[in-house]
Structure 1
Amino acid sequence: MPPRILVLGGTGEARALASELTDRDEAQVTSSLAGRVRDPRLPDGHVRIGGFGGADGLAAYLAEDNTTAVVDATHPFAEGITANAFAACRTVGVPMLALRRPGWTEQSGDRWYRVDSLTAAAATLPAFGDRVFLSTGRLGLSSFGHLDQWFLVRTIDQPDPPMPRRSTVVLARGPFSVDDELALLREHRIDVLVTKDSGGSMTAAKLEAARTLGIPVIVVQRPPVPDVPTVSTVEDAVLWVETARTDHDG
């Protein structure tokens, strides 16, 4: 039997990894998407959409599917599925890899303020002005619901309440250009940007635009990765899968 690889995805890295592994035709690859985005970009190969039912449900799936290895290539802030995957893999005895794109690096001219959570970000905002560009995704907006500032909220899909009391929602999917981000910040007279340290190029232009305009950026730091092997490139993930396949073949 060829090895069976489960890729927990939704990111560009997950799609690239699924494409690489599918092209090699050396493993049966299933990509799992959480289903939180209405019209997701689907990877190559077999795709399943929806949750597993927590760590126990994922452990049952891994055992029933005879999964050889799991690659967690989810968003760096997808803490729930990462924790469930770690617990499930430990229960069933399946090796797990974390594929995480590098975080953003502060550059000369940046005015970054790092915080540990959305709640901490909200606590710092009153000192930064009245107009906030909130680019943290559509989950966790309730953390800002008690504030009196005005928020420009950009998400892929329409966010669910509760939301900041004074807000305008812009629905858009990256990549975004620096010129577009400059125009957005100027049009809405933004005083401060709030973002998660997602990394990657898809949404990095807003950081360059904020640097150009001297706008402060509150950066929510990433949660820690469980104690599993971790790589930052698709190429290294492919090498790890090949090692897992070799171990599987004996």
Structure 2
Amino acid sequence: MGASYGMDVTINGVEIEDVGFTWDLTPKRLRRGEPRPAVKSPVDGWAVEVPKLLAMVDAIESTGGDFDTLREVLLGTITELLPNGCCPTCEEYASVHQDALAAYEEAAAQMAARAATMTDETHPFVVTRSAAIHLWKCPAAPREELIHPGATLKEFIHGKVVDGRRDPFQRPPWEYEPTNGVRRMTGDELAEWIRSVRGPKGGDNYRRCNRCQPALPVAYTSAASDAYLKD
């Protein structure tokens, strides 16, 4: 993914119009075993239109300036283009990150409130995102987990740095969900959920764990889809 911008630049009073700045996300080819950079340089991925860059050099030479001024102007322009300090993708999804943080906080509060009212007797079932049903006490039953979107916008888009490498989210940031999709249910909630996922001809669009073999609150068509599950 790339992005191009045209910006007017002024160096020592000399204005250079419509300077082309291009940013390209395509990474360089890494050697086998070579770690990805843990921290990107502020200028990583940027290119400047060569004729306009030469015009900036001429402006410096004609006004008796130095190349520190050129550096400051270029970095300042990049900061103006990307106020969040990373890349065009981060800029595009800055508001999405704020929404994800709010969704995470809301999910955390809801999870805490639910946990305070649940017992093994009242909520004996667990349902996963892949429509597998477990007993809460089943050793193979996953637990509902919160997924933090990342403390910074850069973490949200590019993942966190782990051992010198970027560890991105498995799903694109714009598909962020604050939990792993596991839900703990009462018998009535499970019965309602099963009815909602059954096919138009009454087929079972869910799986029952063969390890704990939960007794379901509605008629179960067949045990053919039972399996040892590790969701």
Smaller-chain TM-score range? Answer: under 0.3
State TM-score, norm by structure 2.
Answer: 0.19
State TM-score, norm by structure 1.
Answer: 0.18
Bigger relative contact order (CA 8 A; separation at least 6): 1
From the CA coordinates, give the structure whose radius of gyration is larger: 2
